[in-house]
Each structure stands twice: as structure tokens, then as C-alpha cells.
Chain A
């Protein structure tokens, strides 16, 4: 991997178990800062679990056991003394299908600003506008900011979720197959958006489409049955895969 890129997320001997299921086995990975890192692998291999371990969303499940370390900017976020919302605030989340908040378009973006007190009355409108612009949805919604977010198309909802995530100035964007529910055009918009956003944010992208990873990823982590088979720069990974299992996966022999 690129030795010069600073590391934003690092896991050390990370193991995750749901009841008796050993989902993630001894994961040691590095995720470089301000790059797009794709986590790929067949469905059920633990991609989403790995992603959700980064912002402690696994806490919401019952009977989860996590061991090892997850270092974000050098701090172990599994430390029980940490205030979990502060950890999550650093990372925006895009889910498989977008879940805007049950409020107006405007309030969706303002919500995070309000709960974290990151606004003043005079600049709230402006901040909301800027974030909607940054997410490439401003032109479509500027005349109906106070309509329910539920009335937007799925693709627009996903971009609204980008806007609400970046509004609270995270450092990392966690994306869990963010284009899987979208039509090809909306999916393209999200991909372009991620390419633009990687200048400012570290993007971790879970995807099951190899082509997507090829198109936009700088760094790739290949998971198979809960184990990291191979990780490295996307160029290396796709042109010169070392592991036989990676080669088989890239050829489409395993899926």
C-alpha cells in the first residue's frame, strides 16, 4: 500500500461474534486518510459488520462480542469510557437504502447542526444551503426546502443523506453499498459525488460490485468468510492480485 498516505482507521486483531457466529476473524487493516477505500467481497462475508464496527453501530445489536482494537486517528474507539455519540459524529453514514429523517428537507440538514450546536441563528440557512450544494442537490430542492424529505426520489434522498452527514463536518464517510437501491443515473451521481468528497473526507465504501470498486477506489480490502484475504492499492489489487482466492474472485469464479 501507499506508505506515504496517513492512516485514518486501523484495526488490530479485530474479532466480532454474534452469539456463536464468528463474523469477523482477526481483522488487521489500514484505511488511508482522504482516499476511497473499497471493502469488497461476496455477500455475507462481513463487509457491513466491519463498516458498522467503525462507528459503534454494532452496539445496537444484542449478543455482540467485539475484541481487538479499532484505532481512529490513533484512539481506540472500543474504549468503554468514550462517549459514543462523539465517535459517531466523526463519521457520516450512507446506508444501502437512504433513510432521511422524518422531517422536512431543510430540517434533515439542520438536525445535526442543532444537536451539536454547530450553528448560529443567522447562518443556519446559509449552512444548510452550502451543504445541500456540496451534496449536489441544491438546485433540485431549493424551491421546496420545507417539503417532507420522504417525497424526494430515492436518489435524491441518498444525496440528502450526504448533505446531512457532511453538515456536521465529519472526517470519515462510511458508505454501505450506497448505490445498491438506486437506478444507474442516480448511482453515477453518488459515485461522482464520492470522488469529489474524497478530497476532504476519508471514504470507506462497502460494495458488492467489482466494477464500482474499479472505477472509484484508491485502496481495496477483500474480505472472504470474515477474513481479510488481500488489501492494497486498487491498481495493484486489480492488475496484479497475489492471493489465489482474490484471483478467483476477480475472475468471477467465487461469488
Chain B
């Protein structure tokens, strides 16, 4: 048989195999969590906080962790977005010499690769030095630092795709570089920006290591920035460490809830992306 035909067939097979591995493991993960967790989710679980006996198999719920996760990840993502958008816009040729910009990009890529536990320990050290203990605030700071490189680089890449002609069009109307960046470039890059923010949020809401030391753990919903708080990833960690099988089952339920939250956010952002993509100039 023709060598080129064989080559083509082998590559097709490899591609199908790779997709099968990815989709297969996704199905196994979601399937396992669903089978083990979906049926133990009760109203009680999502409307009550965990009382003392919760980890011993008694009543209560994980509302404190659900809210804790949202209180941690949403402000962190918001902060990381504001900082990341600023950096990403500034990295463009219009403001910064490209040699300096590529140095900053390189630093961000290194930060992206740093394990989240390091961010956690780093923030813990700072908090200790400042005399603040494990708290919602410390957790938010750690997650923000964790998300900044992810969000910045994603926004940066989508801004780089903005056509030169569009910028020239904006400048020729007498826009300043700032107006061009915030009113034109940002709108053109919006679908990419939303995707980047979602990527950051997904990382933030699911990360356990960075908040393990910084946010601490608590059985009640935090009432101030200085309170320590539970979150879904740390809740899963604690529940699954239990020797009692019934409690371990609740870890699956918590994981299921986490997946549902992430999926809802994902669907919402897809809707938003579709809405703004209409305006993008191709």
C-alpha cells in the first residue's frame, strides 16, 4: 500500500486514541462522582452548615464550604481580572517596549508554573508577619496571586490577536492609546477575556493547596474578612480523610456540588461569549 495512505491512517488512529483517552477519563471521573455522590446530595446538605458532629456522620450540611468557596474564588477572580487586564493591556506595543514586555511575559509564565502550595505557604508567611491568621482575606490574596498569571496570559494572547487595522482605525479617529485599549481592543478581545477569566475562576475554585493554610477551616459561614472559612476543596479533603464510610460518601457529594457549580459558571460564560462574539470584527 502507498506509504502516504498508511501514514494518514496511523495519524488518524492516534488522534482518535488521544480523544478517547481524554473523553474516557472525563466520563470515568464524572461518572464515579455522580454514582457515589449525586444520590447523597440532600436539601439538608446544601442549606445547613456543618455542625461539630458532621464529620462523625451526624446531621448538618456543607453550606459553609459552598459559600466559602464562592466568597474566596469570586473576589479573587475579580481582583485577578482587574490586575490581569491592566497588565495585559500594558504589555501591548502601544505602551511598552516589546523587549521589556517579553521579559514580563516570561516571568508570568514562570509564575503560572509554580505549584499552588507555594502560593499558600508564601501568603501564610506574609500573614504571619503581618499578624493576621488564617482568614478569608488571606485565602483571597493567595487565590488572586494564583490566578493572576493565568488570567493575564490568556487576556494577553487574545489581545495579541486584535488586527492592526482595527487599532489604526481607532487611532485615526483621534483616540488616545488608553481609549484604544479600553474601548476598542478590550471589546474586540472580550470573548477571549471571558474565556481567560473563566480559566482563572476554574483554577481558583478548585484549588485546595493554596487555601489550606491561608483560609483555614471553619464550621460556620464567615461573617468578616478576618474569619477563617471552609471551602469545597478543603471540605472534600477533610471528609474523605474520615475513617467512616458514610462520611467519605459525603466527600463525593461535595465533589459533585463543586462540579455542578463549575459547570453552571461555564455555561453562563459560554452564553456571554456568544453574545459578545457577534461584535468581533473578523
A residues engaging B (CB < 8 A)? 52, 55, 57, 60, 62, 85-86, 88-89, 91-93, 95-97, 99-104, 111-112, 115-116, 148-151, 161, 164-165, 168, 174
Contact = CB atoms under 8 A, between A and B. Distances in A.
Interface residues of B, number: 28
Contact of B171 (A60, A150, A164): A60
Q: Which 7 A-B pairs have the closest CB atoms?
A: A89-B174, A93-B172, A99-B165, A99-B169, A102-B188, A102-B187, A85-B174
A48 to B, nearest CB: 11
B173 A89 contact: yes
B174 A168 contact: yes
Given A111-B183, A115-B179, A60 B173 contact: no
Tell me if B's interface is mostly helix, strand, loop or mixed.
Answer: helix
Contacts of B169: 93, 95, 99-101, 161
A57 B168 contact: yes
Given A88-B173, A115-B174, A101 B166 contact: yes
Contact of B172 (A104, A115, A165): A165
Contact of A150 (B170, B190, B279): B279
B93 A60 contact: yes
Which of A62, A95, A96 has most B Cβ within 10 Å?
A95
A181 B168 CA distance: 17
Given A55-B172, A88-B172, A164-B173, 16 more contacts: A52-B168, A60-B167, A62-B93, A85-B175, A92-B173, A95-B169, A99-B166, A99-B168, A99-B281, A101-B187, A102-B184, A102-B190, A115-B179, A150-B278, A151-B278, A165-B173
B165 A97 contact: yes
Contacts of B190: 102
Interface string B154-187: 0000000001111111111111100100011001
Interface in B92-107: 93-94, 98
Contacts of A88: 171-174
A104 B187 CA distance: 11
B118 interface: no
A60 B180 CA distance: 13
A104 B276 CA distance: 11
A85 B173 CA distance: 8
B276 to A, nearest CB: 9
Contacts of B281: 99-102, 149-150
17 contacts: A55-B172, A60-B168, A62-B98, A85-B174, A86-B174, A89-B173, A95-B168, A99-B166, A99-B168, A100-B281, A101-B166, A101-B169, A102-B184, A102-B279, A115-B179, A115-B183, A150-B279
B173 A168 contact: yes
A148 B173 CA distance: 19
B115 to A, nearest CB: 37
A248 B13 CA distance: 59
